[in-house]
Amino acid sequence: MRFAIRRPFAIPLVILGLIVIIGVVVTFDYITLLFDSVNDNAIDFEVPATDKDTGQPVTSHPQLIPKILHQTWKNETVPEKWRAAQESCLQSHPDFEYKLWTDESARQFIADEYPWFLDTYDSYPFNIMRADAIRYFVLHHFGGIYIDLDEGCQSRLDPLLTYPAWVRQADPTGVSNSVMGSTPRHPFFMRVMLELKNYNFNWRVPYITVMYATGPLFLSVIWKQHKRWAVSDAEQVWILMPPEPGAAYFNDLHGSSWHEDDAKWIMYLGGHWLLFTVLGFVLAAVVGLTSYLVVRRVYYPRTSLNYKYLEYGE
């Protein structure tokens, strides 16, 4: 007797196979985030030397990123609790241009420079999403260093100006968007900017929507995709490693730390892979059985006699 998959099983099997394949393709970049401990492009902390004549900091490599600091807040009045952090960056970098992006100036900037994005920008259900998006756009347009308002500066940022583009490593996986630097029109931020539109999906759960559509998880996924294609040094994204005691560019005051939980959520999924695998199989079994029953009903609505007859071949 020839081996053949019985007809009632064939269609559910194909459906199941497609579901699994689509599932893997859709989640591939997220899955790879679970296996990312090594960094080829790590930036280590460095204190710039001081020029004897001018007293200015000098770096061992040429400056690539323009001396601009970007921050965002809803209006010009920065809350008291973040003034110290803001001041620490301003005072240690008097030679940097400073841009505080407010709700109003940020929207105007998008309308003027990236009008194709304005609809998406306005469509975001949460302000934090606009705050996420604007930082990618200003880095693409002007270049410079973006710093979250709750991050203070501990030392001169000049060495960070010598890399074409960089982001900070997130704990425990992926990258964060709390501090980033870039030359104008860097291909990575170009990609990030263009992908924002594709990832603008409302998942109905606020936290998940923000995290997947504009936040660090979104950035991490685009970074993974970019890493696969970027080949030249200039196109690569460098990674600022977590600070060591006494050797840090920034000190985090944890004022708006809810974004930091994104990576923990991914690791939670990773840590409970057995549970999710079992759940996946249960779900697959339910889908498979249901479609089997449906198909059987549709194709063989009558008695089991007909069914047996088919089994033995005609």
Ligand X SMILES: *[C@@H]1O[C@H](CO)[C@@H](O)[C@H](O)[C@H]1NC(C)=O
Question: Counting contacts by CB under 6 A, is residue 80 touching ligand X?
Answer: no
Question: Counting contacts by CB under 6 A, is residue 40 touching ligand X?
Answer: no
| Interface region with ligand X, contact rule CB under 6 A, candidates 70-78, 131-139, 180-188, 253-261 | 70-78
Angle at 25 between CA 270 and CA 175, to 5 degrees: 50
Q: Kindly state the smallest distance separating residue 81's Cβ from ligand X, in Å.
A: 13
What is the spatial distance between Cα 193 and Cα 189, in angstroms, rounded to a whole number? Answer: 6
Q: Kindly state the smallest distance separating residue 75's Cβ from ligand X, in Å.
A: 4
What is the spatial distance between Cα 93 and Cα 161, in angstroms, rounded to a whole number? Answer: 13
Contact letters (x/-) for ligand X, 139-178, by CB under 6 A?
----------------------------------------
Tokens of 181: 């630097």
Report the residue number, 72 or 169, with the smaller CB distance to ligand X. 72
Phi, psi of 49, rounded to the nearest 5 degrees: -75, 165
Question: Counting contacts by CB under 6 A, is residue 77 touching ligand X?
Answer: yes
What is the spatial distance between Cα 92 and Cα 157, in angstroms, rounded to a whole number? Answer: 9
Question: Counting contacts by CB under 6 A, is residue 95 touching ligand X?
Answer: no
Q: Kindly state the smallest distance separating residue 80's Cβ from ligand X, in Å.
A: 11
Q: Kindly state the smallest distance separating residue 127's Cβ from ligand X, in Å.
A: 12
Measured between its terminal Cα atoms, the distance across the chain in Å is 13
Question: Counting contacts by CB under 6 A, is residue 60 touching ligand X?
Answer: no
Report the residue number, 75 or 198, with the smaller CB distance to ligand X. 75
Q: Kindly state the smallest distance separating residue 100's Cβ from ligand X, in Å.
A: 11
Nearest one of 146, 139, 153 to 82, comparing CA atoms = 153
Q: Kindly state the smallest distance separating residue 76's Cβ from ligand X, in Å.
A: 5
Question: Counting contacts by CB under 6 A, is residue 304 touching ligand X?
Answer: no
Report the residue number, 106 or 266, with the smaller CB distance to ligand X. 106
Q: Residue 112 to residues 115, 117, 126: CA-CA distances in angstroms?
A: 6, 10, 22
The DSSP H or E segment spanning 146 is strand 144-147
- Specify the length of the chain in residues: 314
What is the spatial distance between Cα 306 and Cα 303, in angstroms, rounded to a whole number? Answer: 6
Report the residue number, 40 or 76, with the smaller CB distance to ligand X. 76
**Helix (H, G, I), strand (E, B), or coil: what is residue 142?**
coil
The correct pick among 41, 75, 290, 306 for binding ligand X (CB under 6 A) is 75
| Interface region with ligand X, contact rule CB under 6 A, candidates 74-82, 163-171, 195-203, 293-301 | 74-82
Q: Kindly state the smallest distance separating residue 102's Cβ from ligand X, in Å.
A: 9
What is the spatial distance between Cα 157 and Cα 147, in angstroms, rounded to a whole number? Answer: 11
Nearest one of 144, 47, 142 to 95, comparing CA atoms = 144
Nearest one of 280, 268, 276, 260 to 220, comparing CA atoms = 260
Question: Counting contacts by CB under 6 A, is residue 76 touching ligand X?
Answer: yes
| Interface region with ligand X, contact rule CB under 6 A, candidates 75-83, 118-126, 243-251, 284-292 | 75-83
What is the spatial distance between Cα 54 and Cα 273, in angstroms, rounded to a whole number? Answer: 57
Report the residue number, 44 or 76, with the smaller CB distance to ligand X. 76
Binding site for ligand X (CB under 6 A): 75-77
